[in-house]
Amino acid sequence: MGLTQRLEKRLETLGPIRVGLIGAGKFGSMFLNQVPATPGIEVAVIADLDPQRARQACATVGWDEDRVARTRFTDDSADLISAPEVEVEVVEATGNPVAGVSHACDAFRQGKHIVMVNVEADVLVGPWLAREAASAGVVYSMAYGDQPALTCELVDWARACGFEVVAAGKGTKYLPSYHVSTPSTVWDYYGLTAAQAEAAGMNSQMFNSFLDGTKSAIEMAAIANATGLTPAPEGLSFPPCGTDDLPHVLRPREVGGRLRHKGQVEVVSSLERDGRPVYRDLRWGVYVVIEAPNDYAAASFQQYGLLTDESGRYAAMYKPYHLIGLELNVSILSAVLRGEPTGCTTGFRGDVVATAKRDLACGEFLDGEGGYTVWGKLMPAQDSLAIGGLPIGLAQGVSLTRPVPAGQVLRWHDVQPAAPSEALRLRQMMEQQLQTP
- Distance between CA 276 and CA 262 in Å, rounded? 29
Residues 125, 68 share a domain: yes
Residues 167, 241 share a domain: yes
- Distance between CA 392 and CA 356 in Å, rounded? 11
| Strands (DSSP E) found in 173-230 | none
DSSP H helices in 254-359: 295-303, 329-333
DSSP H or E stretch at residue 225: helix 214-227
The answer to whether the CB of 263 falls within 8 A of the CB of 228 is yes
Residues 129, 12 share a domain: yes
Q: Which CATH number is 409's domain given? A: 3.90.1210.10
Cα Rg, the chain, nearest whole Å: 22
Q: Which CATH number is 76's domain given? A: 3.40.50.720
Please identify, among 309, 338, 367, the residue that sits at the C-terminal boundary of a domain: 338
The answer to whether the CB of 154 falls within 8 A of the CB of 160 is no
pLDDT of residue 288 exceeding 90: yes
Q: Count other Cβ atoms within 10 Å, centred on residue 346.
A: 14
pLDDT of residue 217 exceeding 70: yes
Residues 170, 84 share a domain: no
- Distance between CA 77 and CA 132 in Å, rounded? 20
What proportion of the chain, given as a percentage, has pLDDT over 90?
Answer: 92
Residues 134, 158 share a domain: no
Q: Count other Cβ atoms within 10 Å, centred on residue 43.
A: 26
Please identify, among 338, 373, 404, the residue that sits at the C-terminal boundary of a domain: 338
pLDDT of residue 412 exceeding 70: yes
Banded model confidence at residue 436, pLDDT cuts 50, 70, 90: low
Query: DSSP class of residue 84?
Result: T
- Distance between CA 192 and CA 199 in Å, rounded? 11
- Position 195 scores a pLDDT of 87
The answer to whether the CB of 413 falls within 8 A of the CB of 401 is yes
- Considering the domain boundaries, does residue 189 fall inside one? no
- Position 194 scores a pLDDT of 86
Please identify, among 303, 338, 373, the residue that sits at the C-terminal boundary of a domain: 338
- Considering the domain boundaries, does residue 224 fall inside one? yes
Supply φ then ψ for residue 223, to 5 degrees.
-65, -45
Residues 140, 14 share a domain: yes
DSSP H or E stretch at residue 316: strand 314-319
Q: Which CATH number is 235's domain given? A: 3.30.360
Residues 95, 152 share a domain: no
- Position 437 scores a pLDDT of 61
The answer to whether the CB of 259 falls within 8 A of the CB of 252 is yes
Helices then strands, counting H and E runs in the chain, come out as: 17, 15
First vs last C-alpha separation in the chain: 45
Supply φ then ψ for residue 298, to 5 degrees.
-60, -40
- Considering the domain boundaries, does residue 238 fall inside one? yes
Paired strand residues for 368: none
- Considering the domain boundaries, does residue 180 fall inside one? no
- Considering the domain boundaries, does residue 199 fall inside one? no
pLDDT of residue 231 exceeding 80: yes
Residues 127, 90 share a domain: yes
β-sheet with 286-291: strand ranges across:
264-269, 164-172, 286-291, 314-319, 307-308
What proportion of the chain, given as a percentage, has pLDDT over 70?
Answer: 99
Domain that holds residue 242: 148-174+213-322
pLDDT of residue 277 exceeding 90: yes
Residues 286, 398 share a domain: no
The answer to whether the CB of 142 falls within 8 A of the CB of 342 is yes
Q: What is the pTM of this model?
A: 0.96
Residues 386, 286 share a domain: no
- Considering the domain boundaries, does residue 410 fall inside one? yes
Parallel, antiparallel or unpaired: strands 374-380 and 350-356: antiparallel
- Considering the domain boundaries, does residue 77 fall inside one? yes
pLDDT of residue 201 exceeding 90: no
Residues 419, 316 share a domain: no
DSSP H or E stretch at residue 308: strand 307-308
- Distance between CA 311 and CA 201 in Å, rounded? 48
Residues 153, 137 share a domain: no
- Position 90 scores a pLDDT of 87
Tally of domains within the chain: 3
Angle, helices 51-60/26-34, rounded to nearest 10 degrees: 50
- Considering the domain boundaries, does residue 110 fall inside one? yes
Banded model confidence at residue 389, pLDDT cuts 50, 70, 90: very high
- Distance between CA 359 and CA 373 in Å, rounded? 9
Q: Among 89-93, 104-108, 336-340, which is the least confidently predicted range? A: 89-93
Residue type, 157: W
